[in-house]
Amino acid sequence: MIREALASVARNESISGVLARTPVARDLVTRVVGGETIDDVLPVVADLADRGFFVALEHVEPDVMTRTEADEAAAAYRTVIDALADSGLGDVAEVSVFTESLGQGVAGADEGAFGRLSSVVTRAGGRAVPIRLGVGPLPHVSQTLEWARALIDRGDDVGVTLPAILRRTEQECSAWSAESVRLVKGAHADGAAAYRQPIETDKSFVRSAKELLRGAGHPSFATHDPRLVAIVESLASRFDRAPHSFEYAFYLGRQTGEQERLLAAGQRVRIYVPFGPRWLERLVGGLAEQPSGIGGALRSLLPR
């Protein structure tokens, strides 16, 4: 089933054709993905909100190669923002925005990337829908943070994402500890700027979490590793952090037992929901950030 779905993506076909032919796959996908359209995903968001969860919504964009495609991606983000606001879900769901989908680093589109981001953030502010900048290609992290700082300085409500795999992230967490920061492990990367060993990334995650919990901002900790979740719980207690002054974040369908446990304990839990015609690439990419956990993750999604 996974091979067939990946082949479908490679042929640039809609995944719906594969799902229509594979009932097991269809059941699996509804547990980990919000669907292909905004109309598909809104009921998922509403259900999670009714159960007490917060949501991070990512519209999975195709690779942007031209200025026109970047403009279309910005328009798609604005559509998602409007749909959340119109449905009354803007107070429980944030929108994840990836600057590379707005033309960052794309020849012929890069010059207007910040303008597109600004238009999306302005729309979100007018509709009271939170925005979180996702972590894209590691070479773009510095520029993305510069753009986020410029938007915050002009009064916009923008959160950022920082990857623990980068050696600089502990220092960045200290500098950003008064803002809304989501800490993730991050995709594997080569080069001296990134940690090479998973254990070093885990240590960086813990050190960075300390910096964020010391600050006055609203940190979010995105990990499916129960050990790191337990460490964050201990650190939050040590720093006298009140529930809902920080949050835990999980992918839809991943570590559902931990999600429910934390929610029952009065913690704020956010569920990351990808949707769109290219959702499979994002799902596989998310699993690939933790290669040692891919097998277990896939097994946890299969029917028993």
Residue-by-residue pLDDT tens, the chain, 304 positions = 444 444 554 444 455 455 445 554 555 566 788 888 999 999 999 999 999 999 999 998 778 999 999 999 999 999 999 999 999 999 999 999 999 999 999 999 999 999 999 999 999 999 999 999 998 887 889 999 999 999 999 999 999 999 999 999 999 999 999 999 999 999 877 788 999 999 999 999 999 999 999 999 999 999 999 999 999 999 999 999 999 999 999 999 999 999 999 999 999 999 999 998 776 665 555 554 444 444 444 444 444 4
pLDDT in tens, 115-126: 999 999 999 999
Q: Calculate ∠ Cα 156-157-162, nearest 5°.
A: 115
CATH class held by domain 37-298: alpha beta
Question: What residues pair up with 96 in beta bridges, in sequence order?
Answer: 132
Domain residue ranges of the chain, discontinuous segments joined by +: 37-298
Rounded Cα distance, 101 and 296, in Å: 30
Rounded Cα distance, 202 and 10, in Å: 33
- Give the model's pLDDT for residue 9: 44
Q: DSSP for 2-37?
A: HHHHHHHHHTT--THHHHHH-HHHHHHHHHH---SS
- Give the model's pLDDT for residue 30: 66
- Give the model's pLDDT for residue 257: 96
How many CB atoms are closer than 10 A to CB 83?
Answer: 22
- Give the model's pLDDT for residue 23: 53
